[in-house]
Structure 1
Amino acid sequence: MRRLLLALPFALLPLAVAHAADEHDHDHDHEHGSLGAHEHGVGRLNAALDGQTLELELQSPAMNLVGFEHAATTDADKAKVAAVRTQLEKPLALFNLPKAAGCVVASQELESPLFGDKPDADDDHDEDAKDAHHHDHSEIHAHYRFTCATPGALKTLDLANIFNTFPATQKIQVQLIGPSGQQGVEVTAKAASLKF
């Protein structure tokens, strides 16, 4: 299943390239030229449903979730980071999965420099450039694996709670693999639901 999630961005690469050609990217990280550019207000979600296993991988600039990207030094900043981490540790509420699907959390991982995690060593930036640039562009990554007793009840994925919980998130670019194939869509607070 992990291979399936990792292959997802490559399977949808033509869609991302076509979308990028249609829309000039105004993010401040454009000099890196990567498809996963850091853009405030924009999150990314990879979702894969395979049998009874649902995997969701949410990536977002920390700015969208906590309101800043620097290391939390004040008590107020530390409290905000702790509160966001607590919210992210409740994925059943965050993703509003239908109760009829009988999904339970099988595993979850949260990673961010704000949580005290070290940045990935396999980034394609050298250390000096990463230190000079990365501290201003912290991201939060959340990876969830659910086991669903009745996966057929997962007709839609409703992301409204993410927009309600983290109002600085303006849109989420979703790449989804489900029983009806793969799709890439962009969801907003006004249209926060998509079909599997």
Structure 2
Amino acid sequence: MAHAQQANLSAHVHGVSELNIVIGGNKLEMQLRSPAINIVGFEHKASTEQQIRKVKQSEVKLNDHKALFSFSSGGCRLTQAKIDLSDLIEHKTTEKDAHTHDHHKSDLDHSHEHEDEDEHGDHSEIVAHYYYDCEDMDELSSISLGFFDVFPAMQQINGIWITTSEQGAASLTRSNKTITF
């Protein structure tokens, strides 16, 4: 996945997301990077009950991998999903975690943190990782995406994939939502 991430252009464009796919052996890993506005409708920390509810509802939708990915074949089974919404919602830390965190933070780390905030402003991203084991990877010829139906603000997904025998890219839209290997 690291190679696919390096190919990431890092442009933050509303309506446009990125999907990196790596296939090796019987393992399939996918990473979606999206401006938060495409998924939750805003890009700042959730502060109202309604915004917090919207973030939590979006997390449930992002965890519903069957609504987001449809495999042509291959017998792929989800083994893990990791959804990072930390740009949008505060995670409660224990007193011990907060204490340890404060003592290990240097002044350099602290000033770098503020530079990042200034540089990125309210342009929050959501990152979702999906890990699959597939019974017969040779049979997997395509993946169709349901993101456009689940998240109507998503207009385009730039897909990049790497397999043991090829690599490719495709610009996916509501009318063309299938990656073919």
Q: Which of the five TM-score ranges fits, normalised by the shorter chain?
A: 0.7 to 0.9
Secondary structure at 1:104's aligned position in 2?
strand
Aligned match of 1:6: 2
Runs of 4+ with deviation above 6 angstroms: none
Count of residues paired in the alignment: 164
TM-score, with length taken from structure 1: 0.75
Q: Is the 8 A contact 1:69 1:135 kept in 2?
A: no
Q: Deviations over 1:12-61 (max 9, x none)?
A: x5xx8xxxxxxxxxxxxxxxxxx212111110010011121110000000
Q: After TM superposition, give the deviation of residue 128 of structure 1 in Å.
A: 2.1
Higher RCO structure (Cα 8 Å, ≥6 apart)? 2
- Does residue 73 of structure 1 match 2:69? no
5+ residue gaps, structure 2, are 92-104, 106-110
- Does residue 105 of structure 1 match 2:78? yes
Aligned match of 2:57: 83
Secondary structure at 2:116's aligned position in 1?
helix
Q: Which has the larger radius of gyration?
A: 2
Q: Which one-letter code corresponds to 2:19 in the other structure?
A: L
Q: Is the 8 A contact 2:88 2:124 kept in 1?
A: yes
Aligned sequence identity (%): 35
Inter-partner Cα distance in structure 2 for 1:86 and 1:154: 26
Q: Is the 8 A contact 2:19 2:33 kept in 1?
A: yes
Inter-partner Cα distance in structure 2 for 1:9 and 1:75: 34
TM-score, with length taken from structure 2: 0.81
Inter-partner Cα distance in structure 1 for 2:123 and 2:152: 19
Aligned match of 2:139: 153
Q: Which one-letter code corresponds to 2:76 in the other structure?
A: C
Q: Is the 8 A contact 2:13 2:35 kept in 1?
A: yes
5+ residue gaps, structure 1, are 17-34
Q: Deviations over 1:105-143 (max 9, x none)?
A: 1222111212436xxx9xxx9322322353511100001
Q: Which one-letter code corresponds to 1:182 in the other structure?
A: Q
Aligned match of 2:29: 55
Q: Deviations over 1:171-191 (max 9, x none)?
A: 111110135500122111111
Question: Structure 1's 191 and 72: CA in aligned 2 closer, same or farther, altered over 3 A?
Answer: same
Q: Deviations over 1:64-120 (max 9, x none)?
A: 00000111111211111111100111223311224x422211222111212436xxx
